[in-house]
């Protein structure tokens, strides 16, 4: 009996060990149903372990680069699986193209073919992943549903961001603004740095390369306080406001589950306008904060965009790194404003139209890009022909600024309807409901259906309307409370996220998914 007991105990121990090992392997391997993001519990644990090793290598440049590159590639593997090879292909391709281009420039020769090769490779990748489904759908719609038997293409996470980043690197070398990096590991670092890899912001190589090559990284007390405030604030915006608003009201409203009244349609548009801002800017804040904790400074990507009084000002405040990229590498390449007024307006429209296609190949994205391109062109005409017209709200008189801000907000909100609607039929239905099925009496029953969502919406807009000085004062306050206070702030923010996730799971029966911009 004793031997039998020992045998069973040992067998149970090994069986338990096999089960633990199997779960551990499953946790470490890519799982398409549970991709790794900066807000996941697994990332929090992995980042803590990563941080322990980072402390040992942060002031040894080469080891620091290798260490961060390995973690970044693993992060992307947990996010997109086999598409990590695509990221490495782009990195190796443009690293070699950049070096070849620079050697030709040193000999006084043109490097145009190298730039063209980089653009063709990178744009081909984007076209394949972004446009294949659209063109297959068009062909099948014209010639029959079975004409092209093609499985839907899975878009790798962040492909638009690392492709645009790589194109900019090669173009900067061709313009003589930077020299090519000497080590492939440095370029992979530039392309794959995990806080920014997934959803940006896009960084300028001339500003980020010196940080990679710096012998030491420095994180001041103020830097750490700012990082904590960015991460905590980003978590609230992204994982509490955006997710709860989207899942409790916006998604059901666009799906027709909240009724077809004009009130529902209008509030859904207002809701998505706030949701997409909190989703993207919140995640960008988290990325900035995580990078700052490691001693790397990423550019601001948002600056209270709904404070904008003109569409020009909006694009200086919204997704700043993308609008800067479009201006420097597309608008200027098309001729910018150097070839007369008509070409300036046309270049603006083409740039924004292509910006719409960058988000997705479809009629709604084309319409969204055209809307913003036409609005920017018309605003330039307005500034030219109307005496005293201003480009920025800060230059306007108070009442005019208020009216201009309301107009710009509603123009942008209409654009977001185009952006999120699955087709133009949905756009037409919602506009029809607002125009012909709107009754102020419907507001109370609509709000009663999802009180939590509307409380969150009101809170979100209230926070967004606060002056920038309040935000800066809060960040100084976070810095002043010291490490223990900052730890408490982080714990409270994480607790709020966990409570929100539990509430959504109970109310909707599903956990919060990836960021909205993960699809682009």
Catalytic amino acids?
359
User: Pick from 245, 262, 212: which is nearest to 456 by CA?
Assistant: 245
Q: Which residue has the tokens 């697994």?
A: 42
DSSP characters over 416-479: HHHHH-SSHHHHHHHHHHHHHS--GGGHHHHHHHTHHHHHHHHHHHHHHHS-HHHHHHHHHHHH
Do 160 and 520 form a contact (C-beta atoms < 8 A)?
yes
* Cβ contacts of 457 within 8 Å, gap of 6 or more: 245, 249, 270, 271, 274
Do 433 and 353 form a contact (C-beta atoms < 8 A)?
no
SS3 content of the chain, % helix, strand, coil (to 5): 75, 0, 25
Could you say which DSSP state residue 83 is in? Answer: G
C-alpha to C-alpha distance for 496 and 231, rounded to whole angstroms: 13
C-alpha to C-alpha distance for 384 and 211, rounded to whole angstroms: 42
Cα angle 490, 61, 82; round to 5: 70
Structure tokens at 224: 């750490």
- The number of C-alpha atoms within 13 Å of 429 and in the hemisphere containing its C-beta is 15
- Cβ neighbours around 406 below 10 Å, total: 11
- Cβ neighbours around 356 below 10 Å, total: 24
Q: Which residue has the tokens 């992995």?
A: 46
Q: What are phi and psi of 242, to 5 degrees?
A: -65, -50
Is-cis flag, bond preceding 201, omega within 30? Answer: yes
Do 289 and 227 form a contact (C-beta atoms < 8 A)?
yes
- The number of C-alpha atoms within 13 Å of 283 and in the hemisphere containing its C-beta is 25
User: Pick from 279, 242, 267: which is nearest to 448 by CA?
Assistant: 267
Structure tokens at 460: 């979100």
Cα distances from 509 to residues 79, 367, 501, in angstroms, run 23, 34, 10
């Amino acid at each position: 009996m004793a031997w039998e007991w020992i045998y069973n105990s040992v067998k149970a121990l090994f069986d338990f060990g096999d089960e633990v090992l199997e779960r551990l392997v499953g946790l470490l391997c890519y799982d398409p149903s549970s991709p790794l993001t900066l807000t996941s519990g697994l990332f929090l644990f992995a980042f803590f372990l990563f941080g322990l090793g980072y402390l040992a290598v942060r002031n040894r440049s080469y080891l620091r680069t290798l260490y961060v590159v390995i973690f970044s590639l693993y992060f992307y593997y947990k996010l997109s699986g086999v598409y990590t090879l695509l990221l490495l292909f782009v990195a190796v391709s443009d690293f070699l193209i950049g070096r070849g281009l620079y050697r030709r420039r040193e000999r006084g020769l043109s490097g145009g073919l190298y730039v063209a090769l980089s653009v063709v490779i990178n744009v081909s990748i984007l076209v394949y992943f972004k446009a294949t489904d659209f063109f297959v759908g068009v062909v099948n719609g014209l010639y029959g549903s079975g004409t092209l038997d093609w499985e839907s293409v899975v878009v790798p996470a962040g492909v638009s961001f690392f492709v645009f980043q790589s194109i900019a690197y090669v173009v900067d070398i061709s313009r003589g603004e930077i020299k090519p990096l000497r080590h492939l590991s440095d370029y992979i670092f530039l392309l794959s740095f995990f806080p920014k890899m997934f959803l940006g912001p896009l960084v300028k190589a001339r500003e980020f390369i010196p940080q990679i090559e710096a012998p030491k990284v420095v994180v001041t007390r103020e830097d750490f306080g700012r990082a904590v405030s960015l991460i905590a604030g980003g978590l609230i915006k992204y994982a509490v406001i955006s997710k709860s608003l989207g899942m409790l009201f916006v998604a059901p409203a666009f799906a027709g589950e909240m009724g077809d009244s004009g009130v529902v349609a209008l509030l859904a548009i207002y809701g998505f306008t706030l949701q997409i801002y909190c989703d993207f800017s919140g995640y960008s804040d988290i990325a900035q904060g995580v990078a700052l904790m490691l001693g790397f400074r990423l550019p601001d990507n948002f600056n209270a965009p709904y404070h904008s009084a003109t569409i020009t000002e909006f694009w200086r405040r919204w997704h700043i790194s993308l609008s800067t990229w479009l201006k420097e590498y597309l608008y200027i390449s098309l001729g910018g404003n150097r070839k007369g007024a008509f070409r300036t307006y046309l270049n603006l429209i083409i740039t924004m139209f292509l910006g719409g296609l960058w988000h997705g190949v479809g009629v709604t994205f084309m319409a969204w890009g055209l809307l913003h391109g036409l609005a920017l062109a018309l605003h330039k005409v307005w500034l030219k022909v109307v005496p005293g017209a201003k480009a920025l709200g800060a230059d306007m008189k108070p009442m005019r600024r208020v009216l201009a801000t309301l107009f710009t907000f509603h123009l942008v909100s209409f654009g977001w309807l185009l952006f999120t609607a699955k087709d133009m039929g949905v756009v037409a239905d919602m506009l029809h409901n607002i125009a012909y099925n709107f009754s102020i009496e419907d507001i109370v029953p609509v709000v009663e259906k999802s009180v939590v969502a509307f409380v969150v919406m009101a809170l979100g807009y209230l926070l967004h309307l606060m002056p920038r000085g309040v935000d800066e004062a809060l960040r100084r306050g976070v810095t002043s409370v010291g490490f223990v206070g900052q730890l408490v702030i982080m714990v409270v923010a994480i607790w709020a996220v966990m409570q929100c996730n539990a509430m959504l799971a109970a109310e909707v029966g599903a956990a919060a998914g990836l960021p909205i911009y993960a699809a682009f």
